[in-house]
Structure 1
Amino acid sequence: MHKSRPLSFGIKTAQRHATHDALLNVWQAADNISIFEHAWINDHFMGLGSTPTGPYLESWTLLAALAAQTRRLRIGVMVTDNTYRHPALLAKMAATVDVISHGRLNFGIGTGWSEQQHHAYGIPLPPPGERIRRLGEACELIRRLWLEPLATFEGRYYQLSEAPCDPKPLQKPSPPFVIGGEGEQTLKVIAQHADIWDCSVESPEIYQQKSILLENYCVAIGRDPASIEHSRHISVDPSDLKAAFQETRSFIEVGVTHIIYHVPVPDSQNLLHRLAEEVALPLQAAYK
């Protein structure tokens, strides 16, 4: 598999136990380092596992605040759980953030998955097959709201009746759709709707297998597989940037071009500058 796009590097910060000021400091630092092109937060309401206590800022309200105080980075939620918010409301929220950011939103969305969070907040969690079908409807509904003056939609799960989305996003025709997932049925939705595909499987070998499946689904519907950028998260240990370099390179070799580094908050040990100089810049030079 050959790389068909330039490499694109970004960061992701988790909100658990992080203050707005600390997150903003990391994002503004990344905003001033040209190799980083995008920044992301997650869509959790609380810490997961056996000890879910501690502060956790909500993603879309936080993203709006970060959008207003950055100037260059493309921004997004990686990825929004479709089950948490009605997609029509999410379309309005995302359009507002695109306006606030002057057209820098990457629109991240996925099926939703955390039983713990859905149970805690009293949000229904449909079975996996229904969640995938809901995701497909949501993508179509959101795109209609962004493109049509008044959107009417009659789906199995969602309905609209001459609904406006005004103002529209600034990006035309719309902000890029970033969809996360790796199951076969989810990949079919990704083939139809995604501009960027994020996949979190463990190894480059499995990633390559999933990429081939996605390519086949694209071909089946008449879409050029090269029109979808391939994304991957990379965890960063500040004491071992060589490991981040090697892992990134291994995924680049199987077609990843959109690379997202999990970085701590606050930015300890001047990590962002080290990550740029020791990992991202050398890899960019090697794969030009």
Structure 2
Amino acid sequence: MRFGVFVPQGWRFDLVGIDPAQQWRTMADLARRFDESTLWESLWVYDHFHTTPQPSHEATHEAWTLMAAFAAMTDRIRLGQMCTCMSYRQPTYLAKVAATVDHVSGGRVEMGIGAGWYEHEWRAYGYGFPGAGERLTRLREGVEIFAQMWTRGEATLAGKHYQADGALCYPKPLQQGRHGIPLWVAGGGERKTLRIAAEYADYTNFGGDVETFRHKDQILRQHCTDLGRDPQEIVRSTNVNIVIGANDQEIDDRFAAMVDRFRRGGLAQDKLDAVAKQRSAIGVGTPEQIVEQLRPLKDAGMGYLIAYFAEAAYDTSGIELFEREVAPALAD
């Protein structure tokens, strides 16, 4: 198993109480810490504009601006978004942005891409909120534009939602893989999303317990077979919220601190109750318990875990415990 890690950017109320003028320093210090560790292969942010699970006036820093900043101030670690919403930016423009950041980083960009889902921010930013079918069609057309621009240096497409007429991308990305920059197609939709992944993805990203993972994996394999692609070419990844402690009291304390940050951020009581109920989720427990939870996913073929630590901006002791006692037990 390989490991990536999220840097807090505010989207999940994970910068509450930190002066906005100091938030970049907090994020940058964590990025440097992860860059200096050989455990973490990649660092990640979310592509959102409003906090979740409830919009608020708390900070949410923009993903691709952070990508460019991290590219310039790190040396080793790879840089991803889980995941960029295709419809928030024209795909021709987004392909150009990603290619530029790839150069700034020395060839370390990972393109996480998905159809998008957060209706409130879609409407607030004036994007409307088309149905799932249209959002997925946009995803497929946009990924095709990426592939053309990154490998050929230009794209032409007469799509239903996106058009390109010789859109140029020079310099092309430093990376020249299957479609240029590695593509992570996020989402577990069985009929369309996993079909797009089977055609284009270097990595997939979907969640669920081991039974759900195996089911989605089988669907992906069938799409690959239908398209004549080797399913082993695609790395399976998942995101896990890690709440770790040496004992139950430490775990309870982490949850209490997390709920308190949500409360100070103005979260409604019903959503606070939902946060508290996550105590039984995968990724919560002592090191031994978390290894026991994650090993079946690894055995089922999940090869890349992206960890989120809600308290990272305030306390890195949980990260350190994960690094010492969980990752070595699961690493390849």
Please give the range of the TM-score, normalised by the shorter of the 2 chains: over 0.9
Out of 223, 227, 236, the position equivalent to 2:233 is: 227
Q: Matched residue of 1:268: which SS? A: coil
- Please say if residues 91 and 145 of structure 2, whose CA atoms lie closer than 8 Å, have aligned partners that are also in contact: yes
The question of 1:198 aligning with 2:202 is answered no
How is 1:1-288 mapped onto 2 (pairs within 5 angstroms)?
Answer: 7-16=1-10, 18=15, 19-173=23-177, 174-184=180-190, 185-201=192-208, 203-239=209-245, 240-242=285-287, 243-263=289-309, 264-266=311-313, 268-284=315-331, 288=332
Change (3 A) 1:245 1:27: farther
Gapped regions of structure 2 (runs ≥ 5): 16-22, 246-284
Q: How large is the RMSD of aligned CA atoms in angstroms?
A: 1.5
Change (3 A) 1:161 1:66: same
Change (3 A) 1:267 1:71: farther
Change (3 A) 1:69 1:120: same
Residue 116 of structure 1 and its aligned partner are, at CA, apart by 1.1
Distance 2:25 2:124 in 1: 27
Identity among equivalent pairs (%): 33
Q: Size of the alignment, in residue pairs? A: 278
Q: Which amino acid aligns with 1:194?
A: A
Change (3 A) 1:31 1:50: closer
Larger Rg over CA atoms: 2
- Please say if residues 235 and 244 of structure 1, whose CA atoms lie closer than 8 Å, have aligned partners that are also in contact: no
- Please say if residues 238 and 269 of structure 1, whose CA atoms lie closer than 8 Å, have aligned partners that are also in contact: no
- Please say if residues 153 and 160 of structure 1, whose CA atoms lie closer than 8 Å, have aligned partners that are also in contact: yes
Residue 190 of structure 1 and its aligned partner are, at CA, apart by 0.8
**Larger displacement relative to structure 2 (217-226 or 125-134):** 125-134
Residue 149 of structure 1 and its aligned partner are, at CA, apart by 3.4
Residue 77 of structure 1 and its aligned partner are, at CA, apart by 0.6
Q: Matched residue of 2:307: which SS? A: strand
Distance 1:255 1:248 in 2: 11
> TM-score scaled by structure 2?
0.80
Distance 1:141 1:41 in 2: 23
Distance 2:176 2:329 in 1: 33
Gapped regions of structure 1 (runs ≥ 5): 1-6
Change (3 A) 1:49 1:235: closer
Distance 1:51 1:117 in 2: 8
Higher relative contact order (CA 8 A, sep 6+): 1
Distance 1:227 1:193 in 2: 11
> TM-score scaled by structure 1?
0.92
